[in-house]
Every structure is written in C-alpha cells, then in structure tokens.
C-alpha cells in the first residue's frame, strides 16, 4: 500500500483531536510530525513523530507529501501558498481563507503545481448530517421547500484564544461556525441566487459578531442558517420541510466530544448515535401517513481522510474541493455585505 507522509502545521486542539487520530488510524498515511512553536507535545502521543521548530523546516523535509494547515484562519492563505510552492499536497482547515480572492489564487496555484488542495469540512461526515442527506436524497419528503440548519452552543464567556475574540480578518462567528453550516447547505442544495444576513454581538464584552442568521434564496426553496453562542436549550438543528413531509434532527454527533475526552477512533465505524437522538420523519408513503423515528447513519471523520487518500493515490475526486471552499467564501462575503447594507445581496 502506498503511504502518504503527512505533517501538521499545529498540534493544538485541531491537530490533536481532529486530524492526528485519523491520519494515524488510516493505513495509507504516516504522521511524520508537526510544527510546534512553544509546547512540544506531539511526541507524547506519537513517539516517532518529529517536532519542527518552524514552517520552513517542515516544508524542507522532502519526506513530507501532504501538509495539513490547521492554524488560525488568517494564516490559511499564507501557509497553504507556501506549502503548494514547496510542491506539497494541502488540506486546509475551514474557513478556507479570509477572502474569495485568496481562495481563488490558491485554487489556481494548486492547479499549476498539479497538487491536491482540499478544505477540511469534517461536518459532512457527521452522523446527523449524513442522516439528513440520506432522507432528502431518498425522496421521502418530496420537493424540499424550506430548510433550517442550526449550530447552537451555550458559551457566554469569551474564548481564551485571542485570535478568535479580537477583531481581525479571520475572526467572528461567520468564519468560525459559518463555514460548517454554509458548506452543508451548499452540499445539499447548491449555490443560491441571493443572500440576506443579520449578524450581531450578543455576549457581554464581546468585540466580534457572535450571532448570525442567513437566508439563502433559491428559485423554489428558502434555507435558513443560524448560529449562536447563547442557546442553552437548542431546538432541532435540522428542520426540513417538503411537499410530502418533514424531518427533524438534532445535532447529535459526539465524535468531537469523544475525541476531546481522549478517546481514539479504532475502526471505520467508530461512532454510532444512540437511539434517543434518532430523527423524526413525518411524511406520506404509499398513501399512508407515517410518523416514525429514523435510525441515524454512521459517522466517522476517517471517511474524509480515506477520500483524500484515494484522490492522491488513485486519482479519484477530492473531497471538499477548492471550488467548494470558494463558494463558501462567496456566501460569507455576501453575508457580510448584506449585514452592512441591510439588504439582499445577489450571489
């Protein structure tokens, strides 16, 4: 089996929780090491991994074939560009970049260098989203006329991470939780015709927008996306209405919680939702009205890295393309403009 030597640009929460466990689990990857600025932690978990003192050292390592850019959003463009210029494949965390122009430049550079470039939209591999996608594609709801996607958390206190809370090109909830919701909406329904956004500050002492509601306008469909840090009792995270019926689903995938707690994935089907979190389907089938719980699909972020492996080694389509990342950035820019001008913005 061909092995892809992989290095991380950071071994903080993102590297330790979302990337390293799945890179290490997949037989087609070898975790070579990580750039570590101050704390040297990667060897505690992966003794054979190398700790690079700076990005230049990582990029000079000829063994490294794939670089994971999992640093703060405002660095994504610069670090991804350097990695591509060093002839490396790149996986970059969301938000892809801070502007559409930066995203387009990275896509063109990857094409020029003939390297793979993918955005890490792991939420496509959440059990809850995979369940919603399955129900929509099954036709059980008929033609979809309205959809709501929520990302609700209760975090009234500010984050200790300065780059998250201080105003800047990569700060704000629209570039934090926004890319998850926007990517899921575009993956399900494609690009909308227009966007309207309401963004505001709700937490005491917050300097950045920590609430948003977006409306995506399609010809026969409206999609609402909503995120907030002040929701103690959340509503269903997915509310889908169609001409035949409705589907309600909680955001119940607990992969992140298990990974944060130190659990390591050990199989391709390592996470299954409990029955208590099954979605509710209320529709009509063969002339009969049904209202029943629907078993959730299997969730695993390993699916993302498996698809990355197949794209590099077997030249299969890459998961979450640079074009996908550009589309998300276009919606974010349109949302910011809509909020500033208080009007609907054509996409």
CA atoms within 13 A on the CB side of 132: 33
Residue 163's CATH number: 3.30.360.10
Domain boundary (120, 155, 178) is at: 120
Q: Per the domain annotation, does 314 fall within a domain?
A: no
Identify whether residues 90 and 107 lie together within a single domain.
Answer: yes
User: Once rounded to an integer, what is the mean pLDDT over residues 212-239?
Assistant: 96
Q: What is the mean pLDDT of residues 99-105?
A: 98
Residue ending a domain, among 120, 148, 163, is: 120
Domain shared by 95 and 133, yes or no = no
Q: Mean pLDDT across the stretch 290-304?
A: 96
186 and 279 inside one domain: yes
Task: Look at residue 75 and tell me if it is in a domain.
Answer: yes
CATH assignment at residue 54: 3.40.50.720
- For the chain, give percent helix, strand, coil, nearest 5: 35, 25, 40
Q: Using DSSP bridges, classify how beta strands 4-8 and 29-35 pair: parallel, antiparallel or unpaired.
A: parallel
Which pLDDT tens digit goes with each residue over 167-204? Answer: 888 888 999 999 999 999 999 999 999 999 999 999 98
Whether residue 267 is predicted with pLDDT greater than 90 in this model: the reply is no
Rounded Cα–Cα distance for residues 148 and 272 (Å): 24
Tell me the pLDDT band of 275, cut-offs 50, 70 and 90.
very high
Predicted TM-score (pTM) of this structure: 0.95
* Among candidate residues 120, 143, 170, the one where a domain is terminated: 120
CA atoms within 13 A on the CB side of 113: 20
What pLDDT sits at residue 1?
87
Q: What range does the domain containing 260 cover?
A: 123-298+330-346
Quick check: 309 pLDDT over 90? yes
Do 100 and 137 sit in the same domain of this protein? no
Q: Does residue 315 belong to any structural domain of this protein?
A: no
Q: Give the pLDDT of residue 256.
A: 93
Burial class of residue 346 (count of CB atoms within 10 Å of its CB; 0-12, 13-18, 19+): exposed
Q: Is residue 162 domain-shared with residue 292, that is, in the same domain?
A: yes
Please tell me whether residues 170 and 267 are part of one structural domain. Answer: yes
Is the pLDDT score of 303 beyond 90?
yes
Co-location of 217 and 114 in the same domain: no
Domain count across the chain: 2
- 157 φ/ψ angles, rounded to the nearest 5 degrees: -90, 155
Domain shared by 63 and 173, yes or no = no
Copy the structure tokens of residue 91.
């996986």
Q: Which ranges constitute the DSSP H helices of the chain?
A: 13, 20-25, 42-45, 55-60, 76-85, 100-113, 127-138, 162-165, 178-189, 255-260, 302-313, 322-341
- Same domain, residue pair 160 and 293: yes
Cis peptide before 95 (omega within 30 of 0): yes
Q: Domain for residue 318, yes or no?
A: no
Q: Are residues 231 and 336 in the same domain?
A: yes
Yes or no: say if 236 and 248 are a contact pair by the CB < 8 Å rule.
Answer: yes
Q: Which of 277, 229, 226 is nearest to 254 (CA)?
A: 277
257 in any annotated domain: yes
In terms of domains, do 138 and 258 share one? yes
Q: CA end-to-end span of the chain, whole Å?
A: 44
- 220 band by pLDDT with thresholds 50, 70 and 90: very high
Q: Could you report the per-residue pLDDT of 237-258, keeping only the tens digit for each?
A: 999 999 999 999 999 999 999 9
For residue 304, tell me if it sits in a domain: no
Q: What is the pLDDT of residue 192?
A: 98
The pLDDT value given to residue 170: 82
Q: Is residue 313 part of a domain?
A: no
Output the average pLDDT for the chain. 95
CA atoms 88, 11, 74, 335: torsion sign? positive
Domain-located, residue 28: yes
Do residues 159 and 43 share a domain? no
Least confident of 99-103, 151-155, 191-195, 222-226: 151-155
């Amino acid at each position: 089996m061909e092995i892809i030597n992989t290095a991380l640009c950071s071994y903080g929460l993102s590297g330790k929780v979302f990337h390293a466990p799945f890179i290490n689990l997949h037989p087609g990857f070898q975790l070579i090491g990580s750039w570590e600025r101050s704390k040297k932690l990667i060897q505690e978990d992966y003794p054979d991994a190398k700790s690079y003192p700076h990005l230049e050292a990582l990029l000079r390592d000829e063994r490294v074939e794939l670089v994971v850019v999992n640093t703060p959003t405002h660095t994504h463009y610069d670090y991804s560009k350097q990695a591509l210029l060093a002839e490396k494949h790149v996986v970059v965390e969301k938000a892809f970049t801070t502007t559409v122009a930066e995203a387009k430049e990275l896509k063109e550079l990857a094409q020029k260098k003939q390297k793979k470039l993918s955005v890490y939209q792991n939420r496509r591999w959440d059990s809850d989203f995979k369940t919603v996608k399955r129900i929509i594609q099954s036709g059980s709801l008929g033609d979809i006329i309205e959809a709501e996607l929520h990302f609700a958390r209760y975090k009234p206190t500010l984050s200790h991470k300065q780059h998250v809370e201080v105003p800047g090109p990569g700060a704000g909830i629209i570039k934090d939780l926004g890319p998850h919701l926007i990517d899921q909406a575009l993956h399900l329904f494609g690009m909308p015709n227009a966007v309207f956004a309401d963004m505001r500050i709700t937490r005491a002492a917050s300097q950045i927008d920590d609430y948003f509601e977006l409306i995506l306008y399609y010809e026969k469909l409206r999609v609402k996306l909503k995120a907030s840090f002040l929701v103690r009792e959340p509503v269903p995270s997915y509310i889908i209405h169609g001409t035949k019926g409705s589907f309600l689903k909680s955001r119940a995938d607990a992969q992140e919680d298990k990974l944060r707690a130190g659990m390591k994935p050990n199989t391709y089907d390592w996470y299954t939702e409990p029955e208590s979190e099954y979605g509710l389907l209320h529709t009509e089938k063969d002339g009969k009205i049904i209202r029943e719980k629907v078993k959730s699909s299997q969730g695993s972020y390993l699916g993302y890295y498996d698809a990355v492996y197949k794209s590099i080694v077997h030249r299969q389509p890459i998961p979450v393309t640079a074009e996908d990342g550009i589309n998300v950035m276009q919606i974010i820019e349109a949302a910011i403009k809509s909020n500033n001008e208080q009007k609907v913005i054509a996409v």
